[in-house]
Structure 1
Amino acid sequence: MTSFHNFPKLHNAAWPGLVGKGGDGEPPIDLDTMLDLTAAAEVNGVRFDGIDLFLFDPHVNIDSTDQQIQTLAEKVSSRGLVIGTLVAPVWPPTGGGSAMGESAERDLFLQQVEKACRIGARLKSLGIRPYGCIRIDSAADPGSWANDPAKNQQLIADTFGRACDIAERHGERLAAEGEICWGGMHSWRRMVELLQLVNRPQTLGFQADMAHTLLYLLGHNAPEDALLSADHDWKNEDLFYKKYQELTDALRPWTIDFHVAQNDATVFGSGSHDKTGRHCLPDDPNGKLDITKAAGYWLRDTSGELTKACQHICWDGCMFPNEVMQDPATWNKILAAMISVREAHGWSD
């Protein structure tokens, strides 16, 4: 496998070392280990270009000083990597608050966005972060949202609008992550509705993760918005891609951050993380996606032309077992899948 394109850049995510870990579950995997595993992966001379980070201890303290940010930049660059998208810790357990909560909760949400944007801007100034967004979600669950959908959707939109003001002051863009576990963002239709309510397309876009968006099709947590039946015959590829086209046509125009992933059409959660789309290895026999083909529905427009909306793409292996993540072969498999996506849907610059 030889790489002919150099865009989009290929990133790994460090946060699978933290998300779903701790408590009664498996211990976290430290940032140095995640960086080393990422830097060591290689497929026919092609390596990962960078890493996306979660701004949360023990990886990156959201209240990092300028010196600590400098140290982080040096740690990443010493491994031949750059930094892309940053995940803002907007949830109550991490110091944030619900985007549809009381005024004080929403202020905590925005405080975390402000801190994340400060770090992002500082990393840009250090030359280690040439692209990427600040990732957010509603920090609310679908059940609570459903108590008053109209009111809560408007509250989230208002909070996101204020977050856009913050991002613009720092020269950042926000990417709203589509997952079935986030209230107001738990279905493809509600996600589009929210983006339209905020109506700041230059500042707020969509982060599409192939593992999560697959469940949008099945209507988990929002049966009324399902595009496929719960007992869909996965051998019926024509129907699948017809509905996948409908899904991607609705969300692609908003997509500014993209995660390559595999999913087996089931939900999974570990640690304190709510159940959402299960991330699987690229070669999982139960995986429902032809990764390279499905990625094209996100990275190419309706006429088949490349959108070039994402300067980098990322692999998110959230809630993989530690044994799997600490196996170097895992990252070579993942890198090979990402190279395949880039060769089919990438470009040279």
Structure 2
Amino acid sequence: MTRPQWRMPAETDPHDCTWMAWPSSGYALGEAADDARRAWASVALAVAEFEPVRMVVDPAAVPHARKWLGSDVELLEAPLDDAWMRDMGPTFVVGPQGLGAVDWVFNGWGQQSWARWEKDARIARQVAEWAGATLIDSAMVNEGGGIHVDGAGTVLVTETVQLDPGRNPGWHSHDIEDELRRTLGVRDVVWLPRGLTRDYGEFGTRGHVDIVATMPSPGTVLLHVQPAPAHPDFEVTRAIRLALPAQWRVVELLAPERLEDEDGPVDHSYVNHLVCNGGVVACTFGDPRDAAALEVLASAYPGRKVVGVDARVIFARGGGIHCITQQQPKVEP
């Protein structure tokens, strides 16, 4: 078997920096613009305590970004539609040529009616250029929030994202797997049936895996668990658990106690965190279960400082901390 040219490292591997995008328009900014700016800035400044942060900013929004971020975050200007860097940005990989950047096709989470993505679809290529990475083109529609790797050959995906007719019509599971092996250097593709219920609403992604499960180390999965039978994710998370390899160790991250908001059942999840150099930046929700979740994360990532950031404003816009960040791995000389 030919050895893959590229490999996506685990998020726990050393980073050169974390990339983000500043909310300047679109659904991320919303009507309460300062709430969004405050939330994105809080995440950026928390990450900056551990590693450099490079923020892509629409030229018209530079004054706002400077006001909220000060001099602690590097700003780079490019036109933007929205601010979900995990999804529109490149997926970084490493190989014999050094740093690589996979440029998936981005089409607004399966051509959502409300989404605008003409500018965002060009961001991966621009970020790759700034990072000095070799560009790896892909014909597959995908987003960074739709994949999680362990760095040792396994990737988690969901059937409702990669096989979404709005993303990859005519593609079969073996086509998806072949492309993931080519671009990420994985061997094993673990298919989960779906994502959380709220993620199938008007502003959802139709099932991103990074709100459901992640692998802090090979053979171990941190799994979002909804313990309340009245919540629709009670059955969803039970089905997801059954889809995991039987030999894996499952560490439960219980959902917050709050079950709903004005729009229905919430998808608040502690799984949607970012691992940094020496740290973990985690979602909190002003909830009684916040402290226990941070303790679980500290145990899952020994030796790292776990910092909680209130993510309710970000979740109200359709994502979390992992969704608005993208790590760039350090390339060993």
| Interval of TM-score (by shorter of Structure 1 and Structure 2) | 0.3 to 0.5
Greater strand content: 2
Q: TM-score, normalised by structure 1?
A: 0.35
- TM-score with structure 2 setting the length: 0.36
Q: Which has the higher helix share?
A: 1
